[in-house]
Amino acid sequence: MKKLVVVFFVLISLFASAQKFQNLAMTPPMGWNSWNKFACNVSEKLLKETADAMATNGLKDAGYEYIVIDDCWQISRDSMGFIVADPVRFPSGIKALADYIHSKGLKFGIYSCAGTKTCAGRPGGRGHEFQDAYMYAKWGVDYLKYDWCSADGQTQKESYTLMSQMLKEAGRPIVFSLCEWGGSKPWEWAGEVGHLWRTTGDIGDCFDCFLDQGSWKSNGVMKILDLQKDMRQYAGPGHWNDPDMLEVGNGGMNENENRAHFSMWCMIAAPLIAGNDLRNMSAKTLAILTNPDVISVNQDALGIQGLKYASKEGLETWMKPLSNGDWAVCFLNRSEEAKNIDFDWAKNVVNDDFSKRKLDATAETFKIKDVWSKKDLGTTKKALNASVPSHDVLMMRLSLVK
């Protein structure tokens, strides 16, 4: 009898700990990560100032919550194998930093790697999985990005499953972000292992180019978008395709391009992890990152990744089914000149096989709002006539008239 009771309680606690992980990231995670702007130049001072900025400049109110420190916070392992933070850059230690971030009502994320070394050559997690998960839980980590360098002889599914189990054993709910760049098609197997997985190599700060990084190339925003094909059925509440962190405000793109980048990340239900200097950004950058109507498309509770409906001469039409019968529609102009749009809703009935949703303006009417200009664009009873500047979008919310 006693044994039965023990088995019962073990099962209940396993179930409770699995539940803790299942209810995380029900909408795409929102936050900030140090890598795109600061690379290895990270410190306790930068992280604290970034948390201060996020808490006061409108980002927190807009829904951003995770402050994630990427590579280079760690320097060695101690004689027992525990990970050691760089004492010069993080003199107060990681626990104090996590406490500070929590005191601002924000959450704290950290970075490591499934291989023996991180991509910047710092100690990786291999062979120390439980020890690291235990430390993260003890420090109060809420989010772990786990990379894939120096992983010779390892397989992604095995290594990430191991770390996922160790995080669960350690018992603190931690959003688990897989970063193996799409090599093993994690969208096919990682739904139960993590909450988001990178789908491509690293993003680069340009609209439609490849940036030379020496032995490899990073992908401009449009290049990344093109690589998101055929995977929307794998995204949903608690498990997201991750096309990499935002480059909005990092200087490589103009205002139109930043707006197009942000809009498309919202249309494809991507995690919104800002990658710029939050302490020092223009009003235009802040306005893009915090637009509530655009963010609500990204954070819609249904969690359906948008679909590319049409593409002609550099003008793409994207659609995203939303809650309450609404839709988001985005015209993306990738070309070098302005494009005119003449779009008859009645002649464009959208049948989305994946979500089983239908946008049929002959059967239902929708009110149209331009989510950037905030203008009322009438209803779907009339064809839409508009112009979209080069490298920009016309993004709209269609609200079902009931």
Residues found near ligand GLA in the complex (CB under 6 A): 35, 70-71, 118-120, 147, 179, 202
Q: Which is nearer to ligand GLA, 182 or 237 (CB)?
A: 182
Q: Which is nearer to ligand GLA, 73 or 327 (CB)?
A: 73
Least CB distance from residue 156 to ligand GLA, whole Å? Answer: 14
For residues 333 and 395, give the distance between their C-alpha atoms in angstroms, rounded to a whole number.
11
Q: Which is nearer to ligand GLA, 44 or 247 (CB)?
A: 247
Residue among 30, 100, 44 nearest 72 (CA): 44
Amino acid at 79: S
Q: Buried b / exposed e across 116-129, counting CB within 10 Å, b at 16+?
A: bbbbbebbbbbebb
Is residue 326 within 8 A of residue 400, CB to CB? The reply is: yes
Q: Which is nearer to ligand GLA, 109 or 237 (CB)?
A: 109
For the chain, the farthest-separated pair of C-alpha atoms sits apart, in whole angstroms, at: 77
Neighbours of 246 (CB within 10 A): 26
Question: Catalytic pick from 70, 142, 147, 326?
Answer: 147
For residues 134 and 83, give the distance between their C-alpha atoms in angstroms, rounded to a whole number.
11
Residue among 21, 37, 24, 20 nearest 273 (CA): 37
Least CB distance from residue 39 to ligand GLA, whole Å? Answer: 7
DSSP 220: P
Residue number of the CB closest to ligand GLA reads 119
Least CB distance from residue 20 to ligand GLA, whole Å? Answer: 26
Least CB distance from residue 136 to ligand GLA, whole Å? Answer: 16
**Active site annotation includes 202:** yes
Least CB distance from residue 181 to ligand GLA, whole Å? Answer: 6
Question: Catalytic pick from 202, 205, 242, 326?
Answer: 202
Measure the N-to-C terminal CA separation of the chain; round to a whole number of Å: 59
DSSP 124: -
Catalytic residues: 147, 202
